[in-house]
């Protein structure tokens, strides 16, 4: 197969992403499913797509230094981004090969007239490579939003809150490829059995991952593995893929077998299926969501993981009879800006707008108010987000406590990537007293 093929596919995905606004993961998954690429070419295509989007602001800054005009037409801009990304971020591709392949890519994609322009810019940067690398390092200090490729308004917020050192740690974290973690599903297997299967049958290299908000031997970092969805142990429901930060909300629920639990924003099911695991399928879960496609994902995940205690329904459906007496535990995992998971959701940083942080808290507070009456006296209401922003976290909880009587804050915690080594998350546990 031509060495150009993964690069051509990468340009197509990037161009579609810019034109349609569809999520990058969706486009990448769809495109790669239709292409007969080798494993190495699939990895290269994914690396180019994610890398170019992740470092877009820095790449465009490099391009702008060599051009006097506004940004190039989309396809040409993406080709230049791919070439520069290979030169300055991918050590395994020789510089001369990166230039040659990028120039040939321009020709193959119908930009023969611009091939000389591409060649000139890339070769100019090759001649200045050491000085340019120093410029990029300096830029991370002098203009961190450009040096680390993040929206300027967001970086400014973080600098005001955490200062330059911790902000740079967070920016570095966000630009590091996310790791995969597997939560062992004890509804179907034991830790010993899945480790034996991973190592002897599926060629998985993994390390146990421990934190104080879940049991030991529950979560493993999957350092090397086949494609997750094709692993028999995954298909058999022996494990679920999720960042360890997502387990904090369920830990805060203090789940016990026999309880009735409401999960209000349940899809795609990571928290629901972990709740069922802690219940040992002895209890009842009402899992709700307002997105039909995500509800189907929730059903599939519950079935795959052997969850039998969950009833799944749309958010606007009537409560079943068994739930009308109230719930022992209620989880509101609210929609949010997702600023704690920018490492994992690569294109999200370019979708965020400053006014999202004025708009989202009203929705989050409304969710809490709507859900509060379903908590029985003495029961717990847990509010969680994957946001780092106080407007969506503690300020929402304070507004709720001020306007809804009968609840008291028992516990709250924020996970910060540069402190806890996991995605960002916020959790507050509230007990109904009256």
In order of their start, the domains of the chain are 5-149 (1.10.940.10), 181-241 (3.30.70.1170), 244-432 (3.40.50.150)
- pLDDT greater than 90 at residue 412: yes
Write out the two tokens for 168.
């740079």
- Angle of CA points 281, 293, 51, to nearest 5°: 105
Q: For position 434, what pLDDT does the model report?
A: 84
Q: Is 270 annotated as a binding residue?
A: yes
Q: How confident is the model at residue 159 (pLDDT cuts 50, 70, 90)?
A: very high
Give the span between the Cα atoms of 206 and 195, in whole angstroms.
Answer: 9
Q: How confident is the model at residue 332 (pLDDT cuts 50, 70, 90)?
A: very high
Q: How many CB atoms lie within 10 A of CB 423?
A: 25
- pLDDT greater than 90 at residue 4: no
Q: Where does 109-166 show beta strands of DSSP type E?
A: none
Give the span between the Cα atoms of 193 and 202, in whole angstroms.
Answer: 13
Q: How confident is the model at residue 35 (pLDDT cuts 50, 70, 90)?
A: confident
Question: Among 215, 187, 185, which residue's Cα sits nearest to residue 281?
Answer: 187
Give the span between the Cα atoms of 431 and 428, in whole angstroms.
Answer: 10
Residues 6+ apart with CB under 8 A from 333: 249, 263, 264, 265, 266, 271, 384, 385
- Please state, for a pLDDT cut of 70, what percent of the chain lies above it: 99
Give the span between the Cα atoms of 83 and 25, in whole angstroms.
Answer: 22
Q: How many CB atoms lie within 10 A of CB 366?
A: 11
Q: Is 266 annotated as a binding residue?
A: yes
How many residues are given for the chain? 434
- pLDDT greater than 50 at residue 417: yes
CA atoms within 13 A on the CB side of 232: 8
In angstroms, what is the C-alpha Rg of the chain?
24
Question: Among 199, 200, 221, 224, which residue's Cα sits nearest to residue 210?
Answer: 221
Dihedral sign of CA atoms 335, 340, 343, 346 in order: positive
- Asked if omega into 268 is within 30° of 0 (cis), the reply is yes
Residues 6+ apart with CB under 8 A from 165: none
180 secondary structure, DSSP code: P
Average pLDDT over residues 211-221: 97
Give the span between the Cα atoms of 102 and 99, in whole angstroms.
Answer: 5
Average pLDDT over residues 254-270: 97
Of the listed ranges 1-10, 207-216, 381-390, 400-409, the least confidently predicted one is 1-10
The verdict on pTM exceeding 0.85 is yes
Q: Is 97 annotated as a binding residue?
A: no
Q: How confident is the model at residue 79 (pLDDT cuts 50, 70, 90)?
A: very high
Q: Is 25 annotated as a binding residue?
A: no
Average pLDDT over residues 85-90: 97
Average pLDDT over residues 73-96: 95
Give the span between the Cα atoms of 66 and 243, in whole angstroms.
Answer: 40
CB 102, CB 79: distance < 8 Å:
yes
Q: Which residue has 């239709």 as its token pair?
A: 34
- pLDDT greater than 50 at residue 144: yes
Mean pLDDT across the chain: 96
Give the span between the Cα atoms of 182 and 99, in whole angstroms.
Answer: 39
- Angle of CA points 134, 138, 143, to nearest 5°: 145
Check if 302 is active-site. no
Q: CA dist 236 to 13, 156, 180, 189, 204, Å?
A: 32, 46, 18, 10, 16
Of the listed ranges 92-101, 370-379, 387-396, 421-430, the least confidently predicted one is 92-101
Q: For position 3, what pLDDT does the model report?
A: 58
Q: Which of 45, 302, 336, 386 is catalytic?
A: 386
- pLDDT greater than 90 at residue 39: no
pLDDT, one tens digit per residue, over 339-354 is 999 999 999 999 999 9
Question: Among 272, 313, 310, which residue's Cα sits nearest to residue 291?
Answer: 313
Q: How confident is the model at residue 1 (pLDDT cuts 50, 70, 90)?
A: very low
Dihedral sign of CA atoms 39, 43, 44, 49 in order: positive
Q: How confident is the model at residue 18 (pLDDT cuts 50, 70, 90)?
A: very high
Write out the two tokens for 258.
């026999």
> For residue 329, which phi and psi values (nearest 5 degrees)?
-140, 140
Q: For position 71, what pLDDT does the model report?
A: 75
Q: CA dist 77 to 5, 59, 121, 315, 318, Å?
A: 18, 10, 12, 43, 51
CB 204, CB 181: distance < 8 Å:
no
Q: For position 186, what pLDDT does the model report?
A: 98
Q: Is 271 annotated as a binding residue?
A: yes
Give the span between the Cα atoms of 301 and 270, in whole angstroms.
Answer: 8
């Amino acid at each position: 197969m031509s060495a150009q093929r993964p690069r051509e596919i990468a340009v197509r995905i990037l161009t579609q992403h810019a034109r349609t606004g569809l999520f990058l993961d969706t486009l990448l998954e769809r495109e790669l499913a239709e292409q007969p690429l080798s494993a190495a070419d699939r990895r290269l295509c994914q690396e180019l797509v994610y890398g170019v989007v992740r470092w877009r602001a820095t790449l465009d800054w490099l391009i702008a230094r060599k051009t006097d005009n506004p940004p190039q037409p989309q396809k040409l801009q993406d080709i230049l981004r791919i070439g520069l990304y290979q030169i300055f971020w991918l050590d395994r591709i020789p510089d001369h090969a990166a230039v040659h392949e990028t120039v040939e890519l321009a020709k193959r994609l119908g930009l023969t007239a611009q091939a000389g322009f591409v060649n000139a810019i890339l070769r100019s940067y090759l001649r200045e490579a050491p000085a340019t690398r120093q410029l990029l390092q300096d830029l991370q200090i002098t203009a961190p939003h450009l040096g680390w490729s993040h929206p300027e308004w967001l970086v400014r917020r973080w600098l005001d809150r955490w200062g330059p050192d911790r902000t740079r740690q967070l920016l570095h974290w966000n630009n590091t490829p996310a790791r995969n973690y597997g939560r062992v599903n004890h509804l179907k297997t034991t830790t010993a059995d899945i480790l034996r299967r991973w190592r002897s049958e599926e060629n998985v290299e993994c390390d146990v991952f421990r934190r104080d908000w879940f049991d030991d031997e529950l979560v493993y970092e999957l350092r090397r593995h086949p494609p997750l969805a094709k692993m028999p142990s995954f298909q058999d429901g022996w494990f679920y893929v999720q960042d360890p930060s997502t387990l904090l909300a369920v830990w805060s629920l203090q789940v016990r077998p026999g309880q009735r639990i409401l999960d209000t924003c349940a899809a795609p099911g990571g928290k629901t299926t972990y709740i069922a695991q802690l219940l040992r399928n002895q209890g009842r879960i009402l899992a709700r969501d307002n997105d039909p496609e995500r509800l189907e994902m929730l059903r599939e995940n519950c079935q795959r993981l052997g969850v039998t205690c969950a009833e799944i329904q749309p958010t606007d459906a009537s409560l079943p009879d068994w739930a009308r007496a109230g719930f022992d535990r209620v989880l509101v995992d609210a929609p949010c800006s997702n600023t704690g998971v920018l490492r994992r959701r690569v294109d999200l940083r370019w979708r965020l707008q400053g006014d999202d942080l004025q708009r989202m808290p009203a929705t989050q507070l409304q969710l809490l108010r709507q859900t509060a009456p379903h908590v029985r006296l003495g029961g717990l209401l847990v509010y969680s987000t994957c946001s780092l922003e106080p407007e969506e976290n503690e300020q929402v909880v304070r507004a709720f406590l001020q306007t809804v009587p009968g609840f008291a804050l028992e516990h709250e915690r924020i996970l910060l990537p540069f402190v806890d080594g996991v995605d960002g998350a916020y959790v507050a546990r509230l007990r109904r007293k009256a």
